[in-house]
Structure 1
Amino acid sequence: MSGDEGADGTATGLPGAGPRWADLGWLVNGDPERVRGLLDSGGGPHADRDARLLAAVYQASADLHGEAPPWVRRQVLALDAARYGDLELSALIAAVPVAEADAEPWRVLWSTGSRSDADFQMIPSGHTSGVTGVATASLDGRHVVITGSKDRTVQVRDLGTGRPVGGPMTGLDGRVWALATATVHDRPYVVTAEDWAVRAWDLATRHQTGELPGIDGEAWCVGTAVVRGRPCVLASDDDVSVRVWDLAGGEQVGELTGHDDFLMAVETLVIDGRPHAVGCMSRGAIWIWDLTTGRPAGEPLPGHDGEAWAVATAVVGGRAHAITAGYDATVRVWDLTTRQEVGRLNGHEGTVSAVVTTVIGGELRVVTGGSDGTVCLWEPATGRQTGRELVFPAPVHALTAYPEGPLVVGFGADIAALTPHVDPGSTSAGSQRRPMVASINS
């Protein structure tokens, strides 16, 4: 293939014809049809192993990046290289310059995938169906990520390396729709919301400590909080009741009142020194409850058009805010003091099913994921999108972030952990920023 030209006009070729990875700029910026043809012709069974791996990486998500601009191709190829276990190749691809685009702000720490061929296999996730919940915890002195899936399994991995930690949790007999973590007597616990049960597990032993009473239908979400000094769990099922249990003892100790529709997502926070819960409901309303009394803290917020699927909380300008997302493809920001919608984040196409807040480079960010397979980052104080969206080869239905640490994304049946190279809020010329319909006034 000598004589073929890369994106910068220089001669290029497949890996093995020169340096280990020859002209990755051509791979990212070159005409996709021509690149595929050259990889196919040079990546046969007698080709250099590096050439075959590069061909496998390029073909893994070619249906997604083949018609996309180079900055998307760079992202997806870096992700797929990590899914095949080659973090060196992933980092080299992420460093490829792309015209009219910033340097890639994210590094893939690790990722899983289900694709395999005669030569290479991606790192398996352990899940065979969609990842529906992710959470982080500390276990035996290291940080771990816990994932739940519709395949009725819960997996635990090292947050830094992606390697499995211990065996799977046993005893699940329904799809896992959500999970949350808590600490009981200085031990990490996981609580799972399933088809017919809400269960608590000792994370260190993987043993179930109890099934919380009163659930006999699908539990879509679960939250944890400290109420009157004891760790508690809150969840609901098809009968619209939202129950509160003592996590250590397993008995029901309260019930949230006032609503008449189903709880789809819940997050807890402290307002004026008292624990509260913010709930997204099946008809789109947003309820806030005082967990000490179980009563609503005022009238519900009008919410979304259709089901509200996800919620996160944050303190912006010294005031408690809730960020909600839903079926109507919008992300809405609420000042919980004034009880007003103060911003709307528009950028996704389709249902927004995951939202989380995190700190990146010392700055608070809102992270959203949706059925369009993208993850977007936002400045909550201004409502502007920071940098370009992250693109994944499957819908994103679960997100979490370790404080000042990796962002964990559940896409399809897979998981990826990413860490920022630089602050994605950079205002350099290549960044794309979408304003909110209304800015946040905090």
Structure 2
Amino acid sequence: MDPLQPGDPAQVGSYRLLGRLGAGGMGQVFFGRSPGGRPVAVKLIRPEHAGNEQFRTRFAREVEAARSVGGFHTAPVVDADPAADPPWMVTAYIPGPSLQEAVVRYGALPPEAIRSLGAGLAEGLAAIHRAGLVHRDLKPANVILASDGPRVIDFGIARALDGAGGVTHTGAVVGTFAYMSPEQVRAEPVGPAGDAFSLGCVLAFAATGHSPFDAGSIAAVVHRVTSEAPDLEGVPADHGLRDLIEACLAKAPAGRPSMGDVLMRLSEPGAGDLPPTVVDMITSKESQSRAALEGSGGHAATEHLEPPPQPQRAPSLIRRRAFLVGGLAAAAAVTVPVVVVLANSGDPGAAGAAPSRSATPKITARAEFATQTEVVVSPPAAVLTYEGSPGDPSVTQMDFSPDGKILACGNGSGDVRLWDVAARRSLGDLEGHDDAVRSVAFSPDGRTLASGGLDGTIRLWDVASRRTTSVLDEHLDYVWTVVFSPDGKTLASAGWDDSVRLWDVATGRTVDVLTTDTSAFGTAFSPDGEIIASSDDATVRLWDASTGRPVAVFPEEADTVDDIAFSPDGRTLAGASGDEVVLWDVGTRRVIGTLFGHTDSVTSVEFSPDGGTLASSSFDTSVRLWDMTFSRPTRVLNGHTDVVLSVEFSPDGGTLASGSGDLTVRLWDVRQ
């Protein structure tokens, strides 16, 4: 349980709020106290839903349906007000960790405990189905391990079996892909058999620590769910567990067992208690909730009933210039719940032929869900410190040499510092720019380093001699980003003169100019070198690298896209847009995901070499590691005391570097 934050309400209806429990796709969840002193969970619906009258009508119908669910293994709905602003719902509070928390912290459960868990979940799902509902989002985070057995929670997206009044519409998907049934992924009708499939995924997670359909990208997860056999390595073959889980994971709904069948197979002798470590977690949650209730004293608070005024953001161009020439002394980061919204990939439209990605599984539905509980990780493995004090010019973009031995860092003083990564010491500065160095990039062979500056020039450095070999000065304004093509023959640079320039590295001559509508900020080559992506104010474009012709324009975003990065397989493009990270499908040029969690503008995005993780940095001083299968917790790296301007993975993927306005570069061990 986290404390309330400034702006959180102190009371909802007659329920006093005492702490934060988390968030979902539909709203925030708080720990509260009923008028009679009982612990409750209070869900406040998100404003974007609250303003929709159709949603309010559906929400009211589903609250009434959820009230009818009984049984020992669900969290009953005790109160709700769909007409409130915002709407809210109250359920009994179940003290205990989620299955996700318990397995992430202490590992897989023993077979006997999994049998007991499965029986309890089957009984809870059977109660839901008897009420005419399908849960539709059963996953480890929606299973609470209590002292008297597991509970199924979160009826926020449950849907009536008869299809009337559901929260979704035709062709829509709601849930978490790694735990969805194939029919749900395909936006087909979903019945109780869909929950049986999710139950099989959850039990496999309890036995192995991961979904049986985990993969390196959303598209790959969808393909595995619909077309491939589950990964059940590590699931015990005895106790009947593997056979039961395999039956639940049948691709065809008719081939899956009913909840009654599951109960018959799991209620036989052999079920057991949870491990002592998990029991201790439950006891701790119980103690925490009792302490919160006793500390409240039964008096409703009156402070923070209205959100305080939000500070106005400085104009984006001023902020960009400011974070290069001095620290902004941003406030310490606050860990907040994270929401991932996956959107309809749609058809290609008329924007022009997209690059061929015939092997890419297509997502043709919309899904909205929350990532699992966040894990805050600190401290870093090492800190590289610049001379100076906060307020001096910031550390900007960074790049590792291809062998991982050197880290190059630009800074607001106009220099490029080279660090020996293993020795954690400076190798000296490359001096020559007349203004801040915004971007640096090593060539694929590691022999050349490019640096782009606010003086409008690009310098090519011989890494061995530390000398300038070329000065490229045809940009008419700031150079924001430089990046080498995969073969090292071409350098692309994004400039504020409304262009992306392509340079022949051997001769230093411009070979093409890609004209953008406004100042260009980000640019990136696809892994095969065939496509160049560029970003400017709210627009992302794809260009044919060989001809310089535009290939596609992605949907516009509300905020400027400051940085972009291709996934290693070239199927996904990530962009830093406002305080969000946007994910596009390169083949269809549609938004397929939006990652929420940062509380201020995102400055940099970077995929890990294996594509399984996306890192982002922000003005909120934090770094976030997003699991691209969305089946594991988001990790939050705290420690910087000023804006974090860039993140960079080492070539082996074991280290993440983050550079900040606090004049430090932090090296994080991300293999843990």
Shared topology, TM-score over 0.5? yes
The answer to whether structure 1 residue 324 and structure 2 residue 534 are counterparts is yes
Contact 1:14 1:42 in 2 (8 A): yes
Contact 1:200 1:247 in 2 (8 A): no
Give CA-to-partner distance per residue, 1:105-141, whole Å, 9 cap, x none.
599xxxxxxxxxxx9xxxxxxxxxxxxxxxxxxxxxx
Supply the distance in 2 between the matched residues of 1:222 and 1:29 (Cα, whole angstroms): 38
CA distance 1:171–1:207, shift in 2 (3 Å): farther
User: Map of 1:126-165 to 2, 5 A cutoff?
Assistant: 151=327, 163-165=379-381
Query: Could you say which residue in structure 2 is the equivalent of 1:292?
Result: 506
Supply the distance in 1 between the matched residues of 2:25 and 2:474 (Cα, whole angstroms): 56
CA distance 1:309–1:418, shift in 2 (3 Å): same
TM-score (norm 2): 0.41
CA distance 1:92–1:337, shift in 2 (3 Å): same
User: Map of 1:245-324 to 2, 5 A cutoff?
Assistant: 245-270=461-486, 273-298=487-512, 300-305=513-518, 307-315=519-527, 320-324=530-534
Give CA-to-partner distance per residue, 1:204-223, whole Å, 9 cap, x none.
22211111021232112222
Supply the distance in 2 between the matched residues of 1:343 and 1:357 (Cα, whole angstroms): 15
Out of 408, 413, 421, the position equivalent to 1:203 is 421
* CA apart distance, 1:285: 0.7
Supply the distance in 2 between the matched residues of 1:363 and 1:235 (Cα, whole angstroms): 25
Query: Could you say which residue in structure 2 is the equivalent of 1:193?
Result: 410
Query: Could you say which residue in structure 1 is the equivalent of 2:617?
Result: 410
CA distance 1:239–1:367, shift in 2 (3 Å): closer
User: Map of 1:20-169 to 2, 5 A cutoff?
Assistant: 28=24, 39-41=31-33, 66-69=46-49, 88=101, 92=141, 98=157, 99-100=167-168, 101-104=173-176, 151=327, 163-169=379-385
Query: Could you say which residue in structure 2 is the equivalent of 1:374?
Result: 580
Contact 1:243 1:256 in 2 (8 A): yes
* CA apart distance, 1:66: 4.3
SS of 1:221's equivalent in the other structure is strand
* CA apart distance, 1:161: 6.0
Give CA-to-partner distance per residue, 1:361-405, whole Å, 9 cap, x none.
x6621111212x222211212212224554543221110011222
Supply the distance in 2 between the matched residues of 1:419 and 1:29 (Cα, whole angstroms): 17
Contact 1:187 1:202 in 2 (8 A): no
Contact 2:475 2:497 in 1 (8 A): no
Supply the distance in 1 between the matched residues of 2:142 and 2:508 (Cα, whole angstroms): 52
Contact 2:16 2:32 in 1 (8 A): no
* Percent of aligned pairs sharing the same letter: 18
Supply the distance in 1 between the matched residues of 2:326 and 2:566 (Cα, whole angstroms): 24
Give CA-to-partner distance per residue, 1:40-87, whole Å, 9 cap, x none.
5469xx999xx8xx89xx9xxx9xx842449xxxxxxxxxxxxxxx97
CA distance 1:214–1:387, shift in 2 (3 Å): closer
Contact 2:482 2:493 in 1 (8 A): yes
Question: Gaps spanning 5+ residues in structure 2: where?
Answer: 1-14, 51-98, 105-139, 144-152, 158-166, 179-209, 211-291, 293-323, 330-374, 632-672
TM-score (norm 1): 0.60
Give CA-to-partner distance per residue, 1:148-186, whole Å, 9 cap, x none.
996499xxxxx9966511233333652122111114xx5
Contact 2:531 2:542 in 1 (8 A): yes
User: Map of 1:350-369 to 2, 5 A cutoff?
Assistant: 350-359=559-568, 364-369=571-576
Query: Could you say which residue in structure 2 is the equivalent of 1:177?
Result: 396
Query: Could you say which residue in structure 2 is the equivalent of 1:400?
Result: 606
**Higher percent of residues as strand:** 1
Contact 2:443 2:488 in 1 (8 A): no
Query: Could you say which residue in structure 1 is the equivalent of 2:55?
Result: none
Contact 2:526 2:570 in 1 (8 A): no
Supply the distance in 1 between the matched residues of 2:583 and 2:26 (Cα, whole angstroms): 28
* CA apart distance, 1:238: 3.8
User: Map of 1:429-440 to 2, 5 A cutoff?
Assistant: none
CA distance 1:268–1:319, shift in 2 (3 Å): closer
Paired letter, 1:175: S
Out of 311, 334, 337, the position equivalent to 2:543 is 334
Question: Gaps spanning 5+ residues in structure 1: where?
Answer: 1-12, 71-85, 108-118, 120-147, 154-158, 424-442
Paired letter, 1:323: A
CA RMSD of aligned residues (A): 4.3
Larger radius of gyration: 2
Query: Could you say which residue in structure 1 is the equivalent of 2:248?
Result: none
Paired letter, 1:416: R
Query: Could you say which residue in structure 2 is the equivalent of 1:126?
Result: none
